[in-house]
Amino acid sequence: MKNVIGRNKEIKRLNRAKEETEAQLIIVYGRRRVGKTFLINEYFDYEFDFKFTGAYNQNRQMQLNNFAIELRRYSRKENAAPKDWTHAFSMLRDYLEEKDVRKKQVVFFDEMPWMDNQKSGFLPAFEWFWNAWASARKNLIFIVCGSAASWLTDNIEKNKGGLFNRCTCKLHLQPLSLHDVEEYLRSRNIDWSRYDIIECYMIMGGIPYYLRLLDRELTLNENIDELFFKKGAELYDEFEQLYRTLFKNSDQYIKIVEALSKKRNGMTRSEIISKTKLPENGVLTRMLNDLLNSGFIRLNPCYNHKSREMRYQLSDYYTKFYFSFVKDNYGKNTHMWSVTNDDRQRCAWQGFTFEQVCKDHMEQIKNGLGISAVRSEISSWTKKGGDEKQGAQIDMIIDRNDHVISLCEIKFYSHRIELSKDDDENLKTKVSVFRDETKTNKTIQIVMITTYGIKKNKYSNYVNRVIEMDRLFEITE
């Protein structure tokens, strides 16, 4: 397990499952490239009683042929390809029954959603296998894994038929945190400043597959040019592959994420329909749920708004970076990232993407505020101005159960901020507009979240608390 960075909660949960004295059906899902297969391989030290990986966009017979090849390798017996999935699971049962029942038997089906293609009969066969035999095998650990999170959720975890309530353990693998990314980079002898690590995170997120491509001999800017903008770059076609292998009719999903990439605070369902021209029906609901379950979008609540007014927000860093810079720039300037340090578009992107980094590290921020045990809700808030009323926009609101509301200003700067008279007036205006519009009677606290903090001067006193970027790198339980 020495090669695994982070994943402490997942490892503890696997330890518990391994110690159980009844059959275990474990679901592992998460965004493509997040490290699901790697975690399971490392945890079990690549030693399985049987492992089978589904093939993308292959028909039933090809999947069954591959199954037979793997079964021959594990059993060391010649066997013909099964005629259907029921036959395949029967063969697997016969093979496992020959093994020592006193030892744990670990079976790993990776990319299971790809096995269930049209008219394959896979799911009914798996239901039969589990209910008729596997569920009674006290020594069996059966792991199912895949990037198509909705398939696993609908067909295994929330199955209304033969697999109802059969899942014993669910692992939803999230991208690595900043703490884990820093540790991962150091393990690869990449020693960057935390400012650079955050910018790297804003491009790649905590996705191990992307981080593994970084060259320790190059600067961050040089790496990004090599990976994204150079002709033939390793990640130049990642976007199409990412969505095509996850979603049928991937063009429709891309329409949604592209529309969301242009709206900092996200869009309502009706706004998405208006922008994409997609029909308002159950198919759209399904697509939005697929994107939510796969970690590409999130629900971004607005303060004091009802659930029907929830906004969908693009949350996948790579997708956001692709639409912001790669889509229209690939191959045009191979040094694009190295020569745009002070570019206005890049600075704007840094600003709103750093907001997302903060939202993804709320536990660290709450620890910094000393409210880790206080129940709270996170939201954003915007009030449009008019002829007679001033408008205001607040990056992040922490509405706390201790009768305090923390209004957070989030700034990504390359230096310590020195607040001016205008800054001071702007903060006071935001508080005034917010209190007038929301009618809240809670205490309002101004929190500044920034990279290097703020300088003390006569305009900094209105800020109650300052959270610097180092806080985001702390480990949380």
Residue 451 lies in a domain: yes
How high is the pLDDT of residue 304? 76
Rg, C-alpha atoms of the chain: 25
pLDDT (tens digit per residue) in 166-212: 999 999 999 999 999 999 999 999 999 999 999 999 999 999 999 99
| Single-letter code of the amino acid located at 445 | Q
From the list 108, 93, 92, the residue with the least C-alpha distance to 51 is: 108
Q: What values do phi and psi take at 138, rounded to 5?
A: -65, -20
Residue 314 lies in a domain: yes
How high is the pLDDT of residue 433? 94
How high is the pLDDT of residue 301? 85
How high is the pLDDT of residue 387? 66
* DSSP character at residue 134: G
Strand partners, 399: 377, 405
Average pLDDT of the residues in 22-37 = 95
Burial class of 180 by CB neighbour count within 10 A (0 to 12, 13 to 18, 19+)? buried
Q: What does each C-alpha distance from 10 to 7, 18, 118, 120, 208 come to in angstroms?
A: 5, 12, 33, 32, 16
Mean pLDDT of the chain: 93
Q: Which two tokens stand for residue 453?
A: 């903090």
Cα 301 from Cα 451, distance rounded (Å): 25
Residue 2 lies in a domain: no
How high is the pLDDT of residue 221? 96
The answer, yes or no, to whether residue 477 has pLDDT greater than 70, is no
pLDDT (tens digit per residue) in 422-473: 999 999 999 999 999 999 999 999 999 999 999 999 999 999 999 999 999 9
Residue pair 396/411 in contact (Cβ under 8 Å)? The answer is: no
Residue 3 lies in a domain: no
How much of the chain is helix, strand and coil, in % rounded to 5? 45, 15, 40
Average pLDDT of the residues in 136-151 = 94
| Residue 203 shares a structural domain with residue 257 | no
Q: What does each C-alpha distance from 306 to 14, 268, 309, 347, 403 come to in angstroms?
A: 38, 12, 6, 33, 21
How high is the pLDDT of residue 248? 87
Residue pair 462/445 in contact (Cβ under 8 Å)? The answer is: no
Average pLDDT of the residues in 214-225 = 97
Identify the weakest region by mean pLDDT among 234-248, 284-298, 323-337.
323-337
How high is the pLDDT of residue 158? 86
| Residue 200 shares a structural domain with residue 296 | no
Q: What values do phi and psi take at 55, rounded to 5?
A: -105, 135
User: 114: domain range?
Assistant: 8-173
Residue 41 lies in a domain: yes
Last residue of a domain, one of 138, 154, 173: 173
| Helix residue ranges, H only, 122-229 | 122-132, 149-152, 178-187, 194-204, 208-211, 220-224
Residue 32 lies in a domain: yes
pLDDT (tens digit per residue) in 328-376: 886 678 899 999 888 999 999 999 999 999 999 999 999 999 999 999 9
| Residue 256 shares a structural domain with residue 366 | no
Cα 324 from Cα 328, distance rounded (Å): 8
The answer, yes or no, to whether residue 101 has pLDDT greater than 70, is yes
How high is the pLDDT of residue 171? 96
| Residue 335 shares a structural domain with residue 203 | yes
| Residue 162 shares a structural domain with residue 288 | no
Q: Is 229 helix (H, G, I), strand (E, B) or coil?
A: helix
Identify the weakest region by mean pLDDT among 190-199, 226-235, 403-412.
226-235
Q: What values do phi and psi take at 157, rounded to 5?
A: -65, -50
| Single-letter code of the amino acid located at 448 | M
The answer, yes or no, to whether residue 327 has pLDDT greater than 70, is yes
The CATH number covering residue 267 comes to 1.10.10.10
How high is the pLDDT of residue 309? 67
Cα 376 from Cα 248, distance rounded (Å): 38
| Residue 148 shares a structural domain with residue 183 | no
| Residue 220 shares a structural domain with residue 302 | no
Residues 6+ apart with CB under 8 A from 9: none
| Residue 211 shares a structural domain with residue 162 | no
The answer, yes or no, to whether residue 1 has pLDDT greater than 90, is no
The CATH number covering residue 76 comes to 3.40.50.300
Q: What values do phi and psi take at 330, rounded to 5?
A: -60, 130
Instruction: Work out the pLDDT band at 237, boundaries 50, 70, 90.
Output: confident
pLDDT (tens digit per residue) in 9-24: 999 999 999 999 999 9
Q: Is 346 helix (H, G, I), strand (E, B) or coil?
A: helix
Cα 126 from Cα 166, distance rounded (Å): 12
| Single-letter code of the amino acid located at 156 | I
| Residue 51 shares a structural domain with residue 130 | yes
| Residue 334 shares a structural domain with residue 317 | no
Cα 173 from Cα 411, distance rounded (Å): 29
The answer, yes or no, to whether residue 306 has pLDDT greater than 80, is no
The answer, yes or no, to whether residue 231 has pLDDT greater than 90, is no
How high is the pLDDT of residue 385? 79
Split into its structural domains, the chain has a count of 4
The answer, yes or no, to whether residue 148 has pLDDT greater than 70, is yes
Residue 1 lies in a domain: no
Cα 63 from Cα 47, distance rounded (Å): 22
| Number of Cβ within a 10 Å radius of residue 52 | 21
From the list 355, 271, 273, 275, the residue with the least C-alpha distance to 317 is: 355
Residue pair 300/266 in contact (Cβ under 8 Å)? The answer is: yes
How high is the pLDDT of residue 308? 55
The answer, yes or no, to whether residue 110 has pLDDT greater than 60, is yes
Average pLDDT of the residues in 247-251 = 92
Question: For residue 228, how many C-alpha atoms fall within 13 Å in the half-sphere facing its CB?
Answer: 28
pLDDT (tens digit per residue) in 409-435: 999 999 999 999 999 999 999 999 999
Instruction: Work out the pLDDT band at 270, boundaries 50, 70, 90.
Output: very high
| Residue 384 shares a structural domain with residue 348 | no
| Residue 47 shares a structural domain with residue 158 | yes
Average pLDDT of the residues in 241-256 = 93
Q: What values do phi and psi take at 473, rounded to 5?
A: -90, 0
Residue 396 lies in a domain: yes
Last residue of a domain, one of 124, 157, 173: 173
Q: What does each C-alpha distance from 160 to 11, 148, 157, 163, 328 come to in angstroms?
A: 29, 19, 9, 7, 45
From the list 347, 408, 350, 354, the residue with the least C-alpha distance to 381 is: 408
The answer, yes or no, to whether residue 386 has pLDDT greater than 80, is no
The answer, yes or no, to whether residue 143 has pLDDT greater than 80, is yes
- Entry pTM: 0.93
How high is the pLDDT of residue 264? 87
Last residue of a domain, one of 156, 173, 190: 173
